[in-house]
Structure 1
Amino acid sequence: MVPVKGNKKKDNIEIRSEPVQEILGTIPHWIIRWGITLFLIIILILLIGSWFFKYPDFINAEIEVITQNPPVDVVAKASGKIDEFFILDKQRVEEGQRLAIIENPANYEEVFLLKEYLGEIKYFIQNADSSRLPSFSYDKYNNLGEIQSFYSLFLKSYLDYENFLNVDYHNKKIEALKVQTHDYRIFYEYLYKQRNTLEEDYNLMNKDYERHKKLFENGAIAEVELERSKSEVLKKQHDFEGARTNLANTQIQINELEEDILDLQLQHRQDYSKLKLALRESYDNLIGQINIWEQNYLIKAPITGSASFNKFWAENQNVIIGE
């Protein structure tokens, strides 16, 4: 077999390449020594730097917490002693619920009771068609402090209005006048018929007088007969005129009674409106004064939530405005 020349050349190349690879694959020792030294120096620098430049475990920073229903501070608007607490610390409260009351000249139980009653009669006060008010024991409210004068005005207006409705003078007087008017109308009908009858008698007597007059002119009767006939005519005329006068006077009396009824009806409306207005105004003023009293002395929950005392509070403890 004849060897192939090209393969021999390939083997020679591979044989020569092994020494070359040995030289190229050997790393100089100085590079290894300096490389290790440099690596150690870098590690040492990092360790020393981490000692001097420490990263803090806690970072102090300002944050803003946003909540849908933030807490609301409740402060006193008047200085004084805490008369009574109506709730406990951490207790669940509803908006507008009473929390505490500051000592003041008024008896707060009377004020609360009065406000409750005023709420019950609100409809009757504001409703223009109402005619009756619920009764109440008005002598219970004698210790209202600064509210007392406003309550006295309201009580006067209330009693005036109640007395006006109970006595009902105008309507009773109107009913009496209507009865009188009815009676006069019946009497008027009687006088009207009487006048018609007397008018017929007068006309007949006047015709009889005319006949006597003709007879006298003809000489058929004496003058005495004519004068007697004329006297009867004058008498019937007097009776007829008297009936007409009575009828007219009766009509005048009926008209006057009807005018009196109209005047009383007008006076009733005016007095009713006046008393109603006075009652409304005194009611509104009293409610307004109670609201002022509550703003000054009554502490209420502004929102629904849990009541939390920011420090220890107790009854009879002094509190100043803003606490």
Structure 2
Amino acid sequence: MPENNEIEVRSEEVQEILSYVPNWMVRWGNTLFFLLILMLFFISWFIKYPDIINAEVILTTKIPPQKEYARVSGKIDTILVRDAQNVIKNQPLAIIENTADYSDVFLLKSIIDTIKVQKESFLFPINDLPILFIGDIEASYDSFEDNYIKYVLNKDLDPFSHEVNANRISTSELKRRLSNMQSQKRLNEKELKFKKKDLERSKSLFGKGVISEKEYELKQLDFLQSERSYKNMNTSISQLRESISNNKRTSKGTEIAKVREEMTLLKNVIQSFNQLRKSVKDWEMKYLLISEINGKVSFLNYWSKNQTVSQGDLVFTIIPRNNSAFIAKLKTPSQNLGKVKVGQVVHIKLDNYPDYEFGVLKGIVNNISEISNKEGFYTIDVSLPKNLVTSYNKDIIFKQEMRGAAEIITEDLRLIQRLFYQLTKIFNR
């Protein structure tokens, strides 16, 4: 029992010590706690750091490399360039096997490119061309040739001119006859007036009994014959005038038919020429691999004739000559994209050059695509103010389409703002 009492006594003492609160803690404890909280808020107001948005990156140039794909399946008929050869824009690279002789197609295209279509006339050196083997283009060329021959024959022979000349001569002759008949009419008219006066005198004499009735009747008959001749002359003049009018109408119709025929033939030859030009372009699009930029050609999986390519295979890549203007293309997810703005800094880490050894490339956001691609990613264009000089002042040797990772540095956000946003998010749940 004494032992138990001793334990109880000690327990009360300990309890008293533990329950004792110093006066200074009572006075300053709450104040210190408040100051500590206030200090934390103060520090969180000044501490700020940005969010980092990660994206995939491809390093290229403002003029991207041209990738030339096979548009049809087949064997490579001819390769017209060497690997690493400098090429110019629109230079042929290779031909995929087809039924045309590509040299004939090139010859035809060189002539077509020099032709300027005019509204008034059309000229094509068809007689200077040899026999052409142009495969798929043959039908369009035959149609053009047929229309062009019709156009040239009509222009050279001018079949309507004979009819026009005949009508002109006939009209001229009719006008001459009309002039003669009008002169004759004037004479007949004078003659008729004289005979009428003579008839009136004979009538007076017959009434006085100076001449016989027979003589008077002869005078009447003579007057009637002159009158009939005068009226016949008027009828002939009217018929001549009608013939002249018909001739003029025929001549006008012939001229209209001539112009219509010329316009129709010219229209047909221009339309068939445009179709021929389109057929040549279609042949090029189908069988010809061509450089669309100035640069250096790079062979990939194909390097000699008779190799078989499939539609959609990448055959050549043309690397632009001028690589001074570099650009980074970022493939960015939609998450947090709203924080990305033009002018923000981007750190680029290339797979070929480890960032711990070479550093990073620094870029600036130039443009953000308005819509996403079919995979749901947005494209961001990033310029490189220092070109390919890294943060460690090391020059990067450029290779087209180098890949890596990019970090977009968004606007700084205060720590207290982040806490507030998190609390708001929790309460909204």
Q: Distance in 1 between matches of 2:124 and 2:284?
A: 25
**Alignment partner of 1:271 is 2:261:** yes
Q: Whole-Å Cα distance in 1 between the matches of residues 231 and 123 of structure 2?
A: 57
Equivalent residue number for residue 188 of structure 2? 198
- Please name the residue that 2:150 is paired with: 160
Identify the residue that residue 146 of structure 1 maps to in structure 2.
136
CA drift of 1:217 comes to: 1.3
The one of 202, 212, 218 equivalent to 2:202 is 212
- The alignment partner of 1:289 has SS state of helix
Equivalent position SS for 2:68? coil
How many angstroms does 1:62 deviate by?
7.2
Which structure has the larger Rg? 1
Distance 1:94 1:139 in 2: 28
- Does the alignment pair 1:238 with 2:232? no
Amino acid at match of 2:163: K
Could you tell me which residue of structure 2 aligns to residue 103 of structure 1? 97
Of 82, 85, 90, which aligns to 2:84? 90
d(CA) in 2 for partners of 1:72, 1:233: 104
| Residue pair 1:213, 1:226 contacting (<8 A) in 2 also | yes
Corresponding residue to 1:319 among 290, 302, 309: 309
Q: Is the 8 A contact 1:114 1:141 kept in 2?
A: no
Structure 1 distance, partners of 2:171, 2:135, is 54
Q: Secondary structure at the match of 2:298?
A: coil
Q: How far 1:309 sits from its partner (Å)?
A: 0.9
Q: Which moved more, 1:312-321 or 1:205-214?
A: 312-321
Identity of aligned residues (%): 28
Aligned residues: 259
Corresponding residue for 1:127?
118
- Structure 1 gaps, min length 5: 1-60
Residue 291 of structure 1, CA deviation: 0.9
Two-structure CA RMSD over aligned residues (Å): 1.9
Could you tell me how far apart the structure 2 residues matched to 1:116 and 1:315 are?
25
Change (3 A) 1:66 1:107: closer
Rounded to whole Å, the distance in 1 between the matches of 2:75 and 2:137 is 20
Q: Secondary structure at the match of 1:78?
A: coil
2:272 maps to what in 1?
A: 282
Deviations 1:27-52 (A, max 9, x none): xxxxxxxxxxxxxxxxxxxxxxxxxx
Mapping 1:54-73, distance limit 5 Å: 64-73=58-67
Structure 2 residue 217 is the aligned partner of structure 1 residue 227: yes
Q: Distance in 1 between matches of 2:128 and 2:172?
A: 43
**Equivalence for 2:111:** 117
Cα deviation, residue 68, structure 1: 2.5
For the 8 Å contact 1:161–1:275, the answer to whether it is kept is yes
Letter in 2 for 1:103: E
Whichever residue aligns with residue 246 of structure 2, its letter is E
Which amino acid in the other structure matches residue 127 of structure 1? Answer: Q
Q: Which structure shows the bigger proportion of residues in strand conformation?
A: 2
SS of residue in 2 equivalent to 1:87: coil
Taking a change above 3 Å as real, the CA distance of residues 70 and 107 of structure 1, as seen in their structure-2 partners, is same
Q: Kindly provide the CA deviation profile for residues 124-147 of structure 1, in whole angstroms up to 9, marking residues without a partner as x.
A: xx31122x5244237734522121
Contact 1:157 1:279 in 2 (8 A): yes
Do the aligned partners of 1:138 and 1:155 also contact (CA within 8 Å) in 2?
no
Hey, what does 1:189 align to over in structure 2? 179
Q: Which amino acid aligns with 1:106?
A: A
Deviation at 1:314, TM superposition (A): 0.7
- CA distance, structure 2, for counterparts of residue 189 and residue 155 of structure 1: 51
Structure 2: which amino acid aligns with 1:172? H
Paired amino acid for 1:153: S
Q: CA 1:208 to 1:189, structure 2 compared with 1: closer, same or farther past 3 Å?
A: same
What per-residue deviation string (whole Å, max 9, x for no partner) do you get for residues 248-284 of structure 1? 1111111111001110111112112211221122111
Higher normalized helix content (fraction of residues): 1
Which letter maps to 2:65? P
TM-score of the aligned structures, taking structure 2 as reference length: 0.57
Q: Give unmatched runs, 5+ long, in structure 2.
A: 1-54, 314-429
Alpha-carbon distance change, 219 to 82 in structure 1, aligned in 2, over 3 angstroms: same
Q: Deviations over 1:33-87 (max 9, x none)?
A: xxxxxxxxxxxxxxxxxxxxxxxxxxxx976424222212111111111111222
Does the residue aligned with 1:83 lie in a helix, a strand or coil?
A: strand
- CA 1:201–1:62: 2 relative to 1, 3 Å: closer
Read off the aligned partner of 2:83 and give its amino acid letter: D
Which amino acid counterpart does residue 263 of structure 1 have in structure 2? G
What residue is the counterpart of 1:58 in the other structure? none
Taking the aligned partners of 1:253 and 1:284, their CA distance within structure 2 comes to 46
Q: What SS is found at the alignment partner of 2:59? A: coil
1:25 matched residue in structure 2: none
2:172 counterpart letter in structure 1:
H
| Counterpart among 73, 80, 84 of residue 74 in structure 2 | 80
Cα distance in 1, alignment partners of residues 297 and 207 from structure 2 = 123
Query: Which residue of the partner structure matches residue 285 of structure 2?
Result: 295
Describe the SS at the equivalent of 1:192.
Answer: helix
| Letter matched to residue 297 of structure 1 | Y
